[in-house]
Amino acid sequence: MKNQILTLILVLAASVVNAAPDGAALFHQHCAVCHGDDGKGGVGVPLSLTSFINSVSDEYLRTTIRLGRPGRIMPAFPALSDAQVNALVEHMRGWSDAPTVTHNTEPVKGDAKRGEQLFAKYCEQCHGENGKGGTGTGVTFSRKRELPIIAPALNNSGFLAAATDTMIKDTLIYGREGTPMTSSLVTGLSETDIDDLVSYIRSFEAQPHDSAEDEVMPAVIVAESPYTVEETIENLKAAITDQNFTLIRTDYVEHGFVEEGKENKKQVVLHFCNFNFLFQALAIDPRVGVFLPCRVTVTEQDGKVQVATINPMLLSGLFNNDELKEACREMTGIYEAIIEDAVL
């Protein structure tokens, strides 16, 4: 009897261990929220775009899943097993009947200095200075859907680890149909020019990557106010207007949780917005709404009045989006100015 139970349990355990991961389920679980279940894109880029999926190797996809794109929204998935990553790749292969390409790992030898000049002339307009990539995210509502893919950040450590020189060279030679990326041969470049460009792109590896995750930030911007709650609120209203923001409303932290009129009047929230700034932030990353509209809180506890806001500089790290840095830095300055004006 004991032996039978043991055998049964071992068979059960073995069946669980040996069960092949379901690529479609894994894709739905980990990828679809950004890339869409059909891979047509969203916050993430459109992976099922024929000219993309047909021109990248399994290894490129595997490494991309493993490392992500630091500072470019796509997270890393280090916890997935090899079998799960392979299942994801196999699922993505189902979007095309074309044979899977392979790219060798032989380096392409070219003149990186000359490639830099060619890059500035032919590539920088879309891929940005130093290959930092296009602006915005995927194909979500923040940009027109006629643009099927955003120019990738070629200087990204995740991209450089995933893409071999020959893959980059092939992309330059053949372009990506259905995207603004045209064949460099059609543009008039020679194979030597292309090799020089590949060498320049590979040289980005030598530059330190400025990732959003590298910085540790305090969670809040906070200051003590020498004024009463009411006086501080009035000061804040004036300071918000001075910074060209519009006050939307003033309410309490407990708003919506307790009966109207019975909120704790010592916990006040001022909501305000600058619509141009809001649109700019949403265009960079549509997910930033979780920190919108702008808010500043005034609290009184133990006789002390405190003014506080979130620290926007924390955001770019939370969102794995280096592009948010500049907007967040600007917003941090605005929050600091508003608070300083109100408590001086």
Partner 1 sequence: MMARLVVLIALLVSSLSVVANPFAAVFASNLIMARSHEKFPEAMLTLQSSIKEHGYTVARVQRIDIGLTGMGFKTDKYRVVFVGKKDEIQYLTKKYPELTPYMPPKVSIFAEDEDTVAVTVNPAVYKDMIDDEEDRRIFDRWENDVYSVFKDFSEAAEN
- List of residues contacting partner 1 (CB under 8 A): 2, 5-6, 9-10, 12-13, 16-17, 19, 25, 28-30, 32-34, 36-37, 42-43, 75, 79, 140-145, 219-220, 222, 253-258, 264, 267, 271, 273, 275, 278-279, 282-283, 286-293, 295-297, 299, 301, 306, 308-310, 317-320
Pick the closer one to partner 1 by CB: 220 or 344.
220
CB 23 within 8 A of CB 87: yes
Cβ at position 29, least distance to partner 1 in Å: 5
Q: Is 296 exposed, middle or buried (0-12, 13-18, 19+ CB in 10 A)?
A: buried
Maximum Cα–Cα distance across the chain: 82
Cβ at position 115, least distance to partner 1 in Å: 35
CB 221 within 8 A of CB 339: yes
Cβ at position 207, least distance to partner 1 in Å: 26
Pick the closer one to partner 1 by CB: 60 or 291.
291
Pick the closer one to partner 1 by CB: 163 or 283.
283
Cβ at position 278, least distance to partner 1 in Å: 7
CB 309 within 8 A of CB 328: no
Pick the closer one to partner 1 by CB: 180 or 293.
293
Sheet-wide strand order for 267-273: 220-225, 304-310, 294-301, 267-273, 246-252
Cβ at position 145, least distance to partner 1 in Å: 7
CB 133 within 8 A of CB 127: yes
Pick the closer one to partner 1 by CB: 203 or 306.
306
Backbone angles phi, psi at 180, to 5 degrees: -70, -5
CB 176 within 8 A of CB 55: yes
Please enumerate in sequence order all residues whose Cβ is within 8 A of that of 205, keeping only pairs 6 or more positions apart, or say none: 157, 160
Cβ at position 16, least distance to partner 1 in Å: 5
Give the number of other CB atoms < 10 A from CB of residue 91: 19
Please enumerate in sequence order all residues whose Cβ is within 8 A of that of 271, keeping only pairs 6 or more positions apart, or say none: 247, 248, 249, 250, 251, 293, 294, 295
Cβ at position 233, least distance to partner 1 in Å: 15
> Which pair of structure tokens corresponds to residue 5?
């139970």
CB 253 within 8 A of CB 277: no
What is the C-alpha separation between 45 and 64, in angstroms, rounded? 13
Cβ at position 331, least distance to partner 1 in Å: 13
Backbone angles phi, psi at 57, to 5 degrees: -85, 165
Pick the closer one to partner 1 by CB: 9 or 120.
9
Bridge partner list, 27: none
Cβ at position 152, least distance to partner 1 in Å: 21
Closest to 180 measured CA to CA, from 224, 153, 148, 207: 148
Pick the closer one to partner 1 by CB: 24 or 126.
24
